[in-house]
Amino acid sequence: MTDNSHQLDDINPHTGEPYKIRPNKTQLKREMKVLHDLGRELVELAQNKLDEVTLSERMYDAVVSAKKMKKAALQRQFRFISSIMDEEDVDTIQLELKQLALPQQKEVEALHQLENWRDQLIAGDNALIEQLVTEIEADRQHIRQLVRNANKETQQNKPPKSSRLLFQYLKELQENAE
């Protein structure tokens, strides 16, 4: 029984050269999908952020023109962007895109922290009030008043006005502390 698989060191008897290993089609598709997604991410960037990314002139022009296209033409443009993406330093582009997203992620994390503080205060966490008073110089009386009002509004099924005011106050405290 003959073995039809070829190793890298197998020699083609007809040409005398080693057999070429055919690229994995699935892997090629995955790589093209990554490039396509990266191109889409570039097109969706705001113009001022796009200017911060290091791109060749050809790539920059392709991305800018894609921003003006309708859906059918846009798909062709994405394929074009993916094809010229091979000439670009993809790792650098991905790194720059991640760095552009970092400030937004930090802002979201800060807002989540404020929401957690607000929820803890409304739930009656007096230790957090003391921590805010000592570390950030918060007004204890104002916080307690907002918490009391927020609890009343919750019990009376009213809109959470005081809860929003508490959040805004905590946000101001955090901004002043920085």
Average confidence score pLDDT of the chain = 85
**Quick one: pLDDT at residue 18?**
76
Query: Region 63-71: what's the mean pLDDT?
Result: 88
H-type helices in the chain, by residue range? 25-44, 47-50, 57-67, 71-85, 90-122, 126-136, 140-155, 161-177
Give the pLDDT score at 1. 42
Q: Delimit the domains of the chain by residue range.
A: 1-88, 96-177
Q: What is the pLDDT of residue 6?
A: 46
Q: How confident is the model at residue 115 (pLDDT cuts 50, 70, 90)?
A: very high
Report the pLDDT value the prediction gives residue 13, as an integer from 0 to 100: 75
User: According to the CATH classification, is domain 96-177 in 1.10.60.30?
Assistant: yes
Domain 1-88 has CATH 3.30.450: no
The pLDDT value recorded for residue 101 is 80
10 Å CB burial of residue 123 (0-12, 13-18, 19+) is exposed
Please tell me the predicted confidence (pLDDT) of residue 9.
57
Q: CA-to-CA distance for 114 and 103, rounded, in angstroms? A: 17
Measure the CA–CA gap between 81 and 64, rounded to whole angstroms. Answer: 11
Mean pLDDT across 15-19: 75
Q: Which position has the token pair 């959470």?
A: 160
Q: For the chain, give the percent of residues with pLDDT over 90.
A: 13
pLDDT the model gives residue 149? 92
Chain centre to alpha carbon of residue 4: 47
Q: What would the mean pLDDT of 151-162 be, rounded to a whole number?
A: 89
Q: Rounded to two decimals, what is the model's pTM?
A: 0.49
Confidence bin at 102 (pLDDT 50/70/90): confident
Say which amino acid occupies 111. L
